[in-house]
Structure 1
Amino acid sequence: MTFSATVFTGTSLDGCIARPDDDIEWLTSRGEKAGDLGFFEFLDSVDAVIMGRNTYDKVIGFGEENWPYGDRHVGVLSTTLPEGADPRITVYRDMDTLVADLDQRGIKHVYPDGGRLVQTFIRAGRVDRFIISVAPVLIGAGHRLFGELHEDVALRLDAVADLGGGFAQLRYTVEK
């Protein structure tokens, strides 16, 4: 058994997911005009959320009462986060262990979250779909959604939507 993975993220028009200092205020402040961008409907479709260490640190910084993932499986791919650091998560040290555990758990749909983690999933050929909400702003510098690739990743455009507030949402399927 194997799972499918959908990247759901917001970017600036110039492809950044955060400023160099990890700030995302440019996205959240504008996002209020567009609502949740379909995030909670999307989240209802996934069995597991996998994030990188930086994203995990950002999420726990929102406070205990703002944990958005409910009781679904949450994993953190990290070589530095101690195992058992948080009873809500499973810490994975490498991609092979992560994939094997998700398959063993019978996970069908995964949400990989976090810039470097998404890039790891892309390079491993583990992303099946992208849902990218593009904010109406150029921030000029920051963490990019996509990093260097060993080969092209062919995409099929499935839908484009005007979400309001100047946001456009692009939906792509990875052609494998």
Structure 2
Amino acid sequence: MTKVTLYIAASLDGYIARSDGGIDWLSFLDTEGEDYGYTDFYESIDAIVLGSKTYEVGLGFNEWPYPEKKSFVFTQRPLQSNREDVTFVSDTVEPALANIEAQGYENIWLVGGGALINSFLQHSLIDEYIISTIPIILGGGIRLFAPPSPEEKLELINSKQYSTGLVQTHYRRKENV
């Protein structure tokens, strides 16, 4: 059974990026020797799903940010890549996720962006949420959970506070009983 985990950072007021997609505000958290659990999480996943705008942000980094992992980029645009580890997906999330699962991927990282997160949320396809709340108020931008979002009951697995003020919470979706 495939497990989808949303692992993402958000401002205190619930934004994952500036209106222009900028994530420069995350850089003030760069601390020597601290990765906020990222390495362990990254080693636990098999594949990545992300939207096309998030993919394009990743292309702007010095190196591809998701090495040695298969990346499935959801898009309706005719994008191309020379990377063998990148596949473009135009299906809706349910059949696409079924196809990813059929390929043997079990632990999926839902990277973002906002529209893709909302699509997964609308279909109750997010099993776990690891949200790093950044101590900054952006006042606007791309919302983590844009309305209309369905009600989703969660149970806390754990939380951790870091010296930078970042608070990371890990939730699991409660099954309806």
Query: Given the two structures, how large is their TM-score scaled by the length of structure 2?
Result: 0.89
Distance 1:7 1:150 in 2: 15
Q: CA deviation at 1:166?
A: 0.8
Distance 1:70 1:142 in 2: 28
SS of the aligned residue for 1:164 comes to coil
1:132 and 1:171 in contact (8 A); partners too:
yes
Quick one: which amino acid aligns to residue 90 of structure 1? T
Offset from partner CA, 1:16-54 (integer Å, 9 cap, x none): 11111111111222x213832211211111110010000
SS of the aligned residue for 1:55 comes to helix
Q: How does 1:89-108 map to 2 (within 5 A)?
A: 89-94=86-91, 95-108=93-106
Distance 1:164 1:133 in 2: 13
Match of 1:135 in 2: 134
Q: CA deviation at 1:163?
A: 1.8
Which moved further from structure 2: 116-125 or 145-154? Answer: 145-154
Quick one: which amino acid aligns to residue 4 of structure 1? K
Match of 1:28 in 2: 27
RMSD of the alignment, in Å?
1.7
How many pairs were matched up? 172
Q: CA deviation at 1:59?
A: 0.3
Q: CA deviation at 1:81?
A: 3.4
Offset from partner CA, 1:54-88 (integer Å, 9 cap, x none): 0000001113xx22322221110101033556433
Query: Given the two structures, how large is their TM-score scaled by the length of structure 1?
Result: 0.90
5+ residue gaps, structure 2 = none
Q: CA deviation at 1:167?
A: 0.7
Q: How does 1:16-165 map to 2 (within 5 A)?
A: 16-29=15-28, 31-33=29-31, 35-63=34-62, 66-82=63-79, 86-94=83-91, 95-114=93-112, 115-149=114-148, 151-165=150-164
Distance 2:116 2:52 in 1: 9
Quick one: which amino acid aligns to residue 148 of structure 1? P
Q: CA deviation at 1:98?
A: 1.6
Q: CA deviation at 1:150?
A: 5.5
SS of the aligned residue for 1:171 comes to strand
Call closer, same or farther: CA 1:67–1:103 in 2, change over 3 Å.
same
SS of the aligned residue for 2:110 comes to strand
SS of the aligned residue for 2:162 comes to strand
